[in-house]
Amino acid sequence: MKRIGVFTSGGDAPGMNACLRAVVRTAIYHGIEVYGIRRGYSGMIHGDFCKLESHSVSNLVQKGGTFLKSARSPEFMTKEGRQKAYEQIQSAGIEGLVAIGGNGTFTGATKFYDEFGIPTVGAPGTIDNDLFGTDYTIGYDTAVNTALDSIDKIRDTADSHDRVFFIEVMGRDSGYIAVPCAIGGGAEIAMIPEATVTVESIIDKIKIDWLHAKTSSIVIIAEGEVEGGSTKVAAKVREALPDMDARVTILGHVQRGGAPTAFDRLLASRLGIACVKGLLEGQKDVMAGTINSKLVYTPLIDTIAKKKEISPEYTRMIEILSI
Amino acid sequence: MKRIGVFTSGGDAPGMNACLRAVVRTAIYHGIEVYGIRRGYSGMIHGDFCKLESHSVSNLVQKGGTFLKSARSPEFMTKEGRQKAYEQIQSAGIEGLVAIGGNGTFTGATKFYDEFGIPTVGAPGTIDNDLFGTDYTIGYDTAVNTALDSIDKIRDTADSHDRVFFIEVMGRDSGYIAVPCAIGGGAEIAMIPEATVTVESIIDKIKIDWLHAKTSSIVIIAEGEVEGGSTKVAAKVREALPDMDARVTILGHVQRGGAPTAFDRLLASRLGIACVKGLLEGQKDVMAGTINSKLVYTPLIDTIAKKKEISPEYTRMIEILSI
Amino acid sequence: MKRIGVFTSGGDAPGMNACLRAVVRTAIYHGIEVYGIRRGYSGMIHGDFCKLESHSVSNLVQKGGTFLKSARSPEFMTKEGRQKAYEQIQSAGIEGLVAIGGNGTFTGATKFYDEFGIPTVGAPGTIDNDLFGTDYTIGYDTAVNTALDSIDKIRDTADSHDRVFFIEVMGRDSGYIAVPCAIGGGAEIAMIPEATVTVESIIDKIKIDWLHAKTSSIVIIAEGEVEGGSTKVAAKVREALPDMDARVTILGHVQRGGAPTAFDRLLASRLGIACVKGLLEGQKDVMAGTINSKLVYTPLIDTIAKKKEISPEYTRMIEILSI
Amino acid sequence: MKRIGVFTSGGDAPGMNACLRAVVRTAIYHGIEVYGIRRGYSGMIHGDFCKLESHSVSNLVQKGGTFLKSARSPEFMTKEGRQKAYEQIQSAGIEGLVAIGGNGTFTGATKFYDEFGIPTVGAPGTIDNDLFGTDYTIGYDTAVNTALDSIDKIRDTADSHDRVFFIEVMGRDSGYIAVPCAIGGGAEIAMIPEATVTVESIIDKIKIDWLHAKTSSIVIIAEGEVEGGSTKVAAKVREALPDMDARVTILGHVQRGGAPTAFDRLLASRLGIACVKGLLEGQKDVMAGTINSKLVYTPLIDTIAKKKEISPEYTRMIEILSI
């Protein structure tokens, strides 16, 4: 292998730049040329490539976002789009690909591999931590810390005003962000997609807590929980407990940005190195991840199709700790 | 004067604790006893007082929120409520009051002074910076920095995805938070209550910017701007520019909490000292503030009734800097 | 078991309060009384105990330091001291102990258990991460992030001035803090106690880097590395490369404080729960830790005597990434 | 005026990039070309110039350091060096200069103006805040907040261990950084160059405080205070109070870096605009600053020669607040 391409795709995640830096420098370390592909699959189709050197990724390890940019590409979902992308890859002499992203990225990557056989190793870059084949995804630790930092601030107000706060964090399909936020944020309840918490049970819990002299409560709600979202839940609670001063904050896109944490920089660096080494060692159509701190390659198809469960121990922890 | 009372009221603001610490220690320094009144006017009515010592305010200067708590008190708006409050103050032997808060706090305070004549000095504690009689209110600098920190994070995503972001910051009646956020956040436009920016002009500006090769835009919107709020504005822009990927984030209550900045700790400390000194020197029915870094006492009625203008220079700065 | 005692000892670490909160609430959840022992073994000897309730640990999960305080106790190293401590524990009716700390804490705890047989479960609370029996200690992740945040700031200056910076981080016996700081901080070299890096090799590396157009370099030095400390190393480099503008910063005690990260809050909460459950299930003379995310109890004597190795993979990563 | 040059010189300060951005965009807004001069006077001598466009300063407002870099230039202190610089400036067609820096920068700038008459307007970019002609310098607010953030962390440890901490902050000639750090950090004492605080008085203060049940103390020491520096002071205190656990932390270069605060971004933007406007309006050999929030131009010679006093009110505040 003489030349590889690297791109980021899907929602950006803190640590993507650290991962890109590791990919670039590992390739150069092993005497391989690296081309950056801008804006993911869209740039692949349009041949938006640039040669990357060691200094191209200087002073990037601590930066949020992705300097190669990311974009959605409906065109890549078509056979014609992928054909065009293949031709661009071919004519640029790229013999292997590193794909940094999440679900959607890997769905595209494995399809592309099936059709054109260019060896591809993925790195899990998404704040959602919902990929099978790795204990942690790049950006997850940062997103949780960012959310927690906001929750700490909101608690100052909750506590000063004897309020109930409903705080919505990211997580359309999983409670991976919500759960550590609830435990670390000293919340009373977490509502997550994996386990139904009824509004009634929330009302009961708040009632009992306040009878026991609690004067503020925090409920962490994952986007994807089943009772209809933070605004709806808060409305119902307000109706049942009209004396409570209940407020809603949706943390939103803030959770995606910012300088990556030490954990994410380390993970991103390690997986970036592993992607290039994987390609050199003949890996194809897999994702590099870490399980129990050990490097593992998992078929891309499994990372999408298999489900990573969240430990029920955590729900129990929230119950005990909010006594 | 032998004994004074101090309370916080209205929305909490970072630096209130630093101000309370200064009030308590200055009083003790001058041989005066201090009573904390919990939950503002509500606690005044119910006699929820506690004697404060120097160590009561140890390790508080850096904490967000207010350890004396804050609350709304509809009862204090009635003559009977205020009568009860007066009786509590009387029977506790409190001869002067320090009131930390904003608009609503001072409206109550000046009315209470009119009726019962207990000398009262206010400190401007609100993130909104909309009080006449002081260049800055306690908590304002922190709120702006908190908002800016979030905007920096969102920019990582805006830039990685070539997006337009509409970010709503606090400010129901003024653009004091929005304007420095726009300048410091590198935003293209600020929509504020003081100056109408039409949605049409925003659409035009974005169009031109993107023609000139900008690939992301940030619009800062104060809660109280006149075009209907961030969600509505974004919807209209999306309609006019369907190719743009436009997103909305409402920063919300995060802006109220967190450790105060150096500026707010200094201001809070200075004004806390000034409140007690003011009482000792015979001030009554005034607010302590700083204008051009000098300590100034302004009649409470003026702080509410008079309007503090935002400099038009700032709007011009945004225009120049986003070229 | 009806009543347990809990204390923190040794250097404070972020997350100790979160761990205390978990211990207290888990005990209460299981109907057990908890006594806080102030200032570690010193407070044990002097009977400085206080009953803790659920609300005693409210609003503590996010606070650095330890609200029970910590202290050195030369007296506890004597047989007489421990005898006194035992009598205090006895007369307070305490039947089990939770000890939060590091090396020194567990040395005392296992000795005390040997002599008096009071069941004791430890939680690893130290920023050093040098305890056998757990992948991570409470406070470690926060310390690394704090150091990294400082390194990011210093890099701004290094880069603006074309400088070489020697940054000393904590770690008297291990490179656990230095290594992720080097990888995550984009450093060129890490000097750690586990592996000798000669000053000569540093000089060579810097020379070569600058020949290849690098314009700033960062060297991370663990306190305990073998070439004599950051000041000495910098002096030798300055002598050999007089044209280089070489500076030293010793991060110092800043690394011990601050709000714990999400990771540390979660770990601290989990281990706090595990300590109490361990006592209830008959554990004695062990430390609760996590290995590969699973809860593990390790004899206290092993946590001190056995050595936890740092992966050589990391040193290799620094080499590749700083190409 | 058709073309101007801009450079940063001296110690870097957060906000320099925000100022550069404002200079560049204001020039372009007024139809003037801008050249960046790399590495200050050194780059001027060597003709290290680059044309700057609006997008050259995109995404820079929030970045620490200076993208044009800074350097010392002994050569510029010679007549020959300045002659060379003038020739470079001439041949590049640069008709006006914006100089961002501190004392040393302006000393060079005014000399250069005297000799060659190229209109120069300076912006005060230094964390030290020791320039006459402006209430605040760019970077000062950020440096104070960075130091304070570290002090907050150290306090966690001081408080947990009943310790005395001596924390050295920057400020070779002034207490501008030390004083707000002491007030905002809840310190007991500040030692600054402007006012001698003897070690004896510190020992007395600590003794009395601890008699009155204080259990930790923080002393903030400016680099330039007169009793010999933090290490020496701590040694003497340790000798006099051997029971105290006294520690030293020197914050060092961390104070120079990091993302600028809102205040610094606003100030930097405003002064960057003012520099270009000043040149357009015929200003020469002056510094743009703000006094009482109003824009003021002060002769460069005065900014260096005249002394800006620190208000004695602050020392008094520390005394009252640490009671």
pLDDT of residue A244: 86
D243 in contact with C, Cβ within 8 Å: no
* Residues C41 and C69: beta-carbon distance below 8 Å: no
Q: Where are the beta strands (DSSP E) in A223-313?
A: 245-250, 286-291, 294-299
Q: How far is B282 from chain A (nearest CA, A)?
A: 31
pLDDT value, residue D57: 96
Tokens of D69: 């870099």
Taking only the tens place, the pLDDT of each residue in B155-212 is 999 999 989 999 999 999 999 999 999 999 999 999 999 888 899 999 999 999 888 8
Average pLDDT over residues A171-185: 95
pLDDT exceeds 90 at position C322: no
d(Cα D130, Cα D137) in Å, to the nearest integer? 8
Query: What span, in angstroms and rounded, lies between the C-alpha atoms of C176 and A127?
Result: 26
Q: Tell me, what's the pLDDT at B140?
A: 98
Instruction: Tell me chain A's radius of gyration from C-alpha atoms.
Output: 22
What single-letter amino acid sits at C50?
A: C
Q: Going by C-beta distance under 8 Å and a sequence separation of 6 or more, which residues neighbour residue D12? A: C156, C157, C160, C161, D64, D65, D66, D70, D256, D257
Eight-class DSSP state of D260: P
Kindly list the distances between the CA atom of residue B101 and the CA atoms of B41, B313, C151, D262, in Å, as whole numbers in the listed order: 11, 29, 39, 23
**Confidence at residue D229, expressed as pLDDT on a 0 to 100 scale:** 86
D213 → closest Cβ in B55, B61, B141: B55
Give me the percent of chain A exceeding a pLDDT of 90.
88
| Cβ pair B29:D320 closer than 8 A | yes
Q: What is the DSSP letter of C291?
A: E
Residue D245 is predicted with a pLDDT of 87
Task: Decide if A174 contacts A310 (C-beta within 8 A).
Answer: yes
The partner residues of A51 in beta bridges, in order of sequence, read: A35
- Burial string for D230-244 (b: 16+ CB within 10 Å, else e) reads beebbbbbbebbeeb
Chains that touch D (3 or more CB pairs under 8 A): B, C
Confidence of residue C227 (pLDDT cuts 50, 70, 90): confident
Per-residue pLDDT tens digits for D244-275? 889 999 999 999 999 999 999 999 999 999 99
Would you call C284 exposed, middle or buried from its count of C-beta atoms within 10 A (0-12, 13-18, 19+)? middle
| pLDDT average, residue stretch D74-100 | 97
From the list C160, C165, C256, the residue facing D69 with the nearest CB is C160
Task: Give C141-257's CATH code, choosing from 3.40.50.620, 1.10.10.60, 3.40.50.460, 1.20.120.420.
Answer: 3.40.50.460
The β-bridge partners of C240 are none
- Strand order through the sheet with D120-124: D49-52, D33-37, D3-8, D96-101, D120-124, D286-291, D294-299
pLDDT at A60: 95
pLDDT digits (tens, 9 = 90+) for A195-206: 888 999 999 999
Phi and psi torsions of A147, nearest 5° = -60, -45
Question: Which of A127, A156, A214 would best serve as a mutation to test chain B binding (most B beta carbons within 10 A)?
Answer: A156
Cβ atoms of residues B51 and B35 within 8 Å: yes
**Nearest-angstrom CA–CA distance, C135 and C141:** 11
Q: Which residues fall within 8 angstroms of residue B302, CB to CB, at 6 or more apart?
A: B132, B133
pLDDT score recorded for residue A215: 83
Residue C213 has pLDDT above 90, yes or no: no
> Active-site residue among C12, C128, C264, C285?
C128
Mean pLDDT value across residues B97-116: 97
B62 in D contact zone (CB under 8 Å)? yes
Interface membership of C186 toward A (CB under 8 Å): yes
How far apart CA D263 and CA D282 sit, in angstroms, is 28
Closest Cβ opposite residue A262 in set C21, C144, C212: C144
Tokens of C237: 């480099």
Interface contact B145-D259, CB threshold 8 A = no
Rounded to an integer, what distance in angstroms lies between the CA atom of residue B116 and that of residue A157?
A: 31
pLDDT at A306: 94
Within 10 Å of residue D5's Cβ, how many Cβ atoms? 26
Does C312 have pLDDT greater than 90? no
Q: At what angle do helices A230-240 and A199-211 cross, to 10 degrees?
A: 50
Here the tokens at position B70 are: 């804050």
For the segment C137-155, the average pLDDT, to the nearest whole number, is: 97
Compute how many other C-beta atoms are within 10 angstroms of the C-beta atom of residue A281: 10
Question: What's the rounded Cα separation, in Å, for the pair B85 and B113?
Answer: 12
What pLDDT sits at residue A15? 98
SS3 content of chain D, % helix, strand, coil (to 5): 45, 20, 35
Interface test mutation site (partner D, options C254, C255, C256, max chain D beta carbons within 10 A) = C254
Distance CA A274, CA A122 (A): 10
pLDDT for position B315: 86
Cα Rg, chain D, nearest whole Å:
22
Is the pLDDT at B72 greater than 90, yes or no? no
pLDDT at C196: 84
A3-139+260-305: which CATH topology? Rossmann fold (3.40.50)
The residue-averaged pLDDT of A8-13 equals 95
Task: Give the CA radius of gyration of chain B.
Answer: 22
Amino acid identity for residue B162 in this structure? D
Mean pLDDT of A202-217: 88
Q: Confidence class of residue B229 from pLDDT cuts 50, 70 and 90? A: confident
**Residue A287 per-residue DSSP state:** E
Quick one: pLDDT at residue B286? Answer: 98
Binary contact (A323, C159; C-beta < 8 A): no
Give the pLDDT confidence score for residue B67 in this predicted structure. 97
Tokens of A75: 């065109």
d(CA C110, CA C284): 9
Q: How far is D135 from chain C (nearest CA, A)?
A: 24
Phi, psi at D265, each rounded to 5°:
-65, -40
Cβ(C60)–Cβ(C259) below 8 Å: no
Cα distances (Å, whole numbers) of residue A200 to A158, A206, A213, A224, A237: 22, 10, 20, 18, 8
CA distance D261 to chain B (A): 6
CB D17 within 8 A of CB B312: no
Which tens digit of pLDDT belongs to each residue from D22-64?
999 999 999 999 999 999 999 999 999 999 999 999 999 999 9
- Asked if A270 and A290 touch (Cβ cutoff 8 Å), the reply is yes
> Where is C5: in which H helix or E strand?
strand C3-8
User: For the segment C58-77, what is each residue's pLDDT rounded down to a tens digit?
Assistant: 999 999 999 999 998 999 99
Q: Worst-scoring range by mean pLDDT, A41-50, B208-217, B279-288, D112-121? A: B208-217
> C44 and C85 in contact (C-beta within 8 Å)?
yes
- Residue A153: its pLDDT value, please? 96
Domain edges within chain C? 3-139+260-305, 141-257
**Which DSSP category does A55 fall into?**
G
Residue A44 in this model has a pLDDT that exceeds 90: yes
Q: What is the pLDDT of residues A273-291, one digit of tens each?
A: 999 999 999 999 999 999 9
Question: D114 catalytic, yes or no?
Answer: no
The pLDDT of C76-91, averaged and rounded, is 98
Q: List the catalytic residue out of D12, D128, D130, D285.
A: D128
Residue A58: pLDDT above 90?
Answer: yes
What residues does B100 pair with on adjacent strands? B8, B123
- Identify the active-site residue in A128, A130, A141, A285: A128
Residue C33 predicted with pLDDT over 90: yes
Contacts of residue C91, defined as CB under 8 A and 6 or more positions apart, other chains included, come to C47
Query: Is the pLDDT at A229 greater than 90, yes or no?
Result: no
> Cα(B84)–Cα(B81) distance, rounded to whole angstroms?
5
B32 CA to centre of own chain: 29
**Number of A–B residue contacts, CB under 8 Å:** 109
Q: Which two tokens stand for residue A59?
A: 């002073």
Of residues D128 and A212, which shows the higher confidence score?
D128
Domains A3-139+260-305 and A141-257 share a fold: yes
Of the candidates A39, A102, A101, which has an alpha carbon nearest to the alpha carbon of residue B162?
A: A39
Residue B243 has pLDDT above 90, yes or no: no
Give the single-character DSSP code of C102: S
Say what the pTM is. 0.96
What is the longest distance spanned by two Cα atoms in chain C?
71
> What is the rounded CA–CA span in Å between residue C69 and residue B86?
42
Residue of A63, A127, A251, A254 best to disrupt the B interface, most CBs of B under 10 A: A254
- Write the Ramachandran bin of B62: left for phi over 0, alpha for psi from -120 to 50, otherwise beta: alpha
Test B153 with A12 for CB contact under 8 angstroms: no
Question: What integer is the mean pLDDT of D69-97?
Answer: 97
- Spatial CA neighbour of B170 closest among B221, B124, B234, B246: B221
Question: Among residues 79-108 of chain D, which lie with CB inside 8 Å of chain B?
Answer: none
- Burial classification of residue A212, based on how many CB atoms lie within 10 Å of its CB (0-12 exposed, 13-18 middle, 19 or more buried): exposed
Contacts of D107 (CB under 8 A, 6+ apart): D304
* Structure token digits, residue A2: 């003489």
d(CA B123, CA B108): 14
CB C255 within 8 A of CB C127: yes
Model confidence at C226, pLDDT cuts 50, 70, 90, reads: confident
pLDDT band at C91 (very low <50, low <70, confident <90, very high): very high
Residue D212 has a pLDDT of 83
| Cα–Cα dist A240/A202, whole Å | 11
Residue C147 neighbours by CB under 8 Å, 6+ apart? C169, C170, C177, C181, C251, C255
Is beta strand C96-101 parallel, antiparallel or unpaired with respect to D245-250?
Answer: unpaired
Average pLDDT over residues D220-234: 89
* Mean pLDDT value across residues C143-169: 95
Please indicate whether, in this complex, the C-beta atoms of C183 and A265 are within 8 angstroms of each other: yes
pLDDT at B41 (0 to 100): 98
pLDDT for the residue numbered B227:
83
